[in-house]
Structures are given as C-alpha cells and as structure tokens.
C-alpha cells in the first residue's frame, strides 16, 4: 500500500470510551519500537531532538517529553545512546539524552506491554498523559504490536494514543488488507498515521509552495509545455550486510512505490480545493487512478555487482549484491530499477514520468528533474531545453536551467545558465 494514504480508508466510529480531545499540556511519552535499527539512529532520534530543541519553531514537541526505545534484547543504556544518538547534534544534547530510556520486551507477548505501561506510567507521574508509538519495525510485527498496545499500553484516561506506522504497510494488497483489519480493528482512523518519512524532506515539502505559491509554474505544468519528468534516487552504498532484509523487498518496494511515488503525487496532482487532508487525498487518489498499468516493457531491472578500482595507485574493492551473506546465491532481486510511468489525464497524457532508483551506484543523489518542451520560436536561438531541478539530497537545491547570451556582439552566442532558487 502506498505510504501516506491513510485517509483513503473509511472512517470508523470512535469508540465510546475514547476522549475527543486531550490537553497538549499533559505529559508526553514517545515510544520508538525498533529503536536499535538504522532508521532510529539516522532519522528518528535526530528528528526528535530538532523538534524539541533545534529547529527554528522549537519546541514543537515539549522538552519535558520522555523517549523510550523499545527492542527485543536488553542493552546498556549509555552504550545504546552513544550509538543510536550519534547523529544528535546541539548544545542541549545532554538534556535530551537525560529524557531517553530503553525498555526490552517481545512484540508478541501481552506481558511485555503490561510492563511497558508500568515503565511509562512511572515517568508520567501516574496521572493522565499522551502516548505516541512510532513503528520502526517490519510489517510482520505490526499486528502484534497494535494488539499489545491496545490491550495494555494505551494512554491513561484523559490522554490520547497515536500510532505512527512507517512504510511499508504490507507487501501487497492482500497483506495490506490483513494488517489494516488488525490496526483499524484496534484503533480509530484518527489515531493511526501510516507515514512515509520521505515526505518530511525540505525540498519535497517545498513542492507545495513551488507549484501553488507562484504564478509562473502552474501555467506551464502540463503536456503542452513539459517533455518529461524524472524522479531519481541513487545510493552509492550497497546493502552493507542487510541483504537478507532487502532481498525480501527489492528496490521497487523499498524506494519506488513509496518514496518516489509520493514525490510524484505532489508533483503531478491537480491543485486541491485546500491543503486539508480530505482535499489532498481526493486529488492524490484521482491521479493514482489515472496511472496506466505498468508492464515489464516499461521497466529495466538490474543488480549491482562487485567492483574494483584504483585511486592514486591504491586498489579499492567493493562487494557485489550476491556477495552479501544474507542474500541467496541465486537471487534475482533487483537493486536497480528504471520505470516509465504514464498518466492518462488531460494534464499529463503522453508525458513520460521516469522513475529511477538503485543501490551500489556511482553517487548519492535524489532529485526531480522537469524537462520543458522546445518551442517553435527556439529555432531563432537554438540551445538546450529548459529544466527545473529540485535536488532532494545531498545539498538541497532548486534551480532553473535557462539559456543566456554570452558577452559579445553575437546574438546567437548563448550558453546554459543556472538560475539558483535555493
């Protein structure tokens, strides 16, 4: 199922015992399920610090909030925080770490969540409190966690409970339906947030302002003026020992059908009536329904191999995907995919959207590149097509490639120039 599409689901009636509103001034407990993983280290702990202390609008989360890491095995707290909070930077780091703890328990045993409830209550003071659970775990344990939280670890009376479920939410439509039956059977829709963290990237967020806050772009944002749109994700790293996990998903499920698809939706949907959830959902769903089915003729798949190269006489070696110990020797799992997606609506008919994603490539880079169509009058001053580039990572940037005259008397002596709008 596509990340960020929770609003597509039918709303359930709120259970009678649930509270319509809860004070934001109540103690807040944040639980990171899967706190020993890469996502927690690279994204979650640094993001929580920024929301509490670092960003210009801080605190967006109260600085009194407690953060509990949850994992299967016990840890030494100091060593755990040193490793998992290595990317937390700022003068208030010591204060942040003082509010962090760890709880070890199983995902499928009710008694673990009973003990977690006791752990949280101790820091909440025994009264009403709000609780937020972030699922940074495989989909295979989503259902058990939902049941455990509902049975024993929901917020005390007077507070709210929120579940943030990171993609992927199932492997396909069937597994999505199974997971949804469990999660929606335990919690109301306004307590569930099925998210894709890629939507939090600054350049992705800026797509809204770029399209709808300006006068010049939206008039050009159509098949009469745009030749193609590329949405690209490249990593220079391989699977680095995580091949066993990656082999169960592949690059399409890992990157393309969630991260890149969400970027595509914001870039290509019709202007919504407003930016509220229902209006955005409506336009996203319209666009998804207008997508033509993809066949293997629209795809190119690949797998990175081993590589050897020399720099200043020093030989470097990089293992291939099949060299990863967790990967089956006969694996056909794609680590690279290029897919042409077409939309059958009045705005985008016959405009190719090229999705490209891969690991073990020549660079780390993600961008959206909109190439404009040459017009008849361009014959007067020939040059390269205009391109609007939104670089998501690294070095976030938005720039427009235009043709500009070089100094001198020759009118047709032009060169490509970058108009930086970063």
Residues designated catalytic? 259
Q: Tell me the C-alpha distance between 141 and 145, whole Å.
A: 6
What backbone phi and psi angles, to 5 degrees, belong to 346? Answer: -65, -30
Find out whether the peptide bond into 12 is cis, omega within 30 degrees of 0.
no
Residue with tokens 């995580």: 242
Strand partners, 101: 68
Q: Tally the residues of the chain.
A: 422
In eight-state DSSP terms, residue 281 is H
Residue with tokens 């003990």: 115
Q: Tell me the C-alpha distance between 134 and 61, whole Å.
A: 14
CA nearest neighbour of 116 among 126, 135, 102 = 102
CA nearest neighbour of 30 among 146, 160, 150, 142 = 160
Q: Tell me the C-alpha distance between 415 and 403, whole Å.
A: 6
- Cα–Cα separations (whole angstroms), residue 288 to 1, 46, 99, 123, 272: 12, 33, 42, 45, 15
Tokens of 219: 């008039």
Q: Is the four-CA dihedral 251, 253, 256, 260 of positive or negative sign?
A: negative
Q: Tell me the C-alpha distance between 22 and 407, whole Å.
A: 65
- Cα–Cα separations (whole angstroms), residue 21 to 12, 59, 244, 312: 17, 21, 43, 64
- Compute the half-sphere exposure of residue 112: CA atoms within 13 Å on the CB side of its CA: 19
What is the SS3 assignment for 317? strand
Rg value, the chain, Cα = 24
């Amino acid at each position: 199922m596509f990340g960020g599409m929770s609003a597509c689901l039918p709303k359930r009636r709120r259970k009678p015992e649930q509270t319509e509103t809860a004070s934001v001034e109540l103690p807040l407990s944040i639980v990171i399920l899967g706190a020993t993983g890469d996502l927690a280290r690279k994204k979650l702990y640094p993001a929580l610090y920024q929301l509490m202390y670092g960003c210009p609008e801080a605190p967006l989360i109260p600085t009194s909030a407690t953060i509990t890491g949850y994992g299967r095995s016990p840890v030494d707290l100091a060593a755990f925080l040193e490793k998992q909070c290595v990317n937390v930077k700022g003068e208030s780091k010591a204060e942040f770490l003082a509010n962090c703890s760890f709880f070890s328990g199983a995902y499928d045993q009710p008694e673990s969540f009973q003990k977690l409830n006791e752990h949280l209550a101790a820091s909440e003071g025994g009264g009403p409190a709000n609780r937020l659970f972030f699922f940074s775990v495989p989909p295979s344990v989503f259902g058990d966690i939902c049941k455990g939280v509902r049975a024993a670890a929901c917020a005390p009376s007077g507070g709210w409970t929120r579940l943030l479920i990171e993609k992927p939410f199932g492997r396909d439509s069937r597994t999505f339906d199974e997971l949804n039956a469990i999660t929606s059977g335990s919690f109301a829709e306004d307590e569930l947030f099925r998210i894709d963290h890629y939507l939090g990237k600054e350049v992705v967020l800026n797509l809204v302002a770029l399209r709808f806050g300006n006068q010049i772009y939206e008039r050009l944002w159509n098949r009469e003026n745009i030749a193609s749109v590329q949405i690209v994700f490249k990593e220079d790293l391989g699977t680095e020992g995580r091949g066993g996990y990656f082999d169960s998903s592949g690059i399409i499920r890992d990157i393309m059908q969630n991260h890149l698809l969400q970027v595509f939706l914001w870039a290509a949907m019709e202007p919504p009536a407003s930016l509220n959830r229902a209006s955005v959902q409506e336009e996203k769903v319209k666009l998804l329904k207008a997508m033509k089915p993809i066949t293997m003729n629209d795809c190119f798949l690949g797998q990175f191999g081993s590589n050897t190269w020399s720099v200043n006489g020093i030989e470097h070696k990089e293992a291939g995907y099949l060299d990863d110990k967790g990967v089956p020797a006969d694996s056909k799992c794609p680590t690279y995919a290029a897919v042409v997606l077409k939309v059958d609506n009045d705005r985008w008919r016959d405009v190719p959207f090229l999705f490209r994603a891969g690991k073990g490539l020549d660079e780390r880079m993600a961008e959206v590149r909109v190439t404009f169509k040459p017009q008849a009058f361009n014959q007067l001053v020939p040059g390269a097509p205009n391109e609007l580039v939104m670089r998501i990572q690294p070095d976030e940037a938005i720039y427009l490639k235009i043709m500009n005259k070089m100094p001198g008397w020759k009118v047709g002596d032009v060169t490509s120039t970058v108009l930086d709008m970063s």
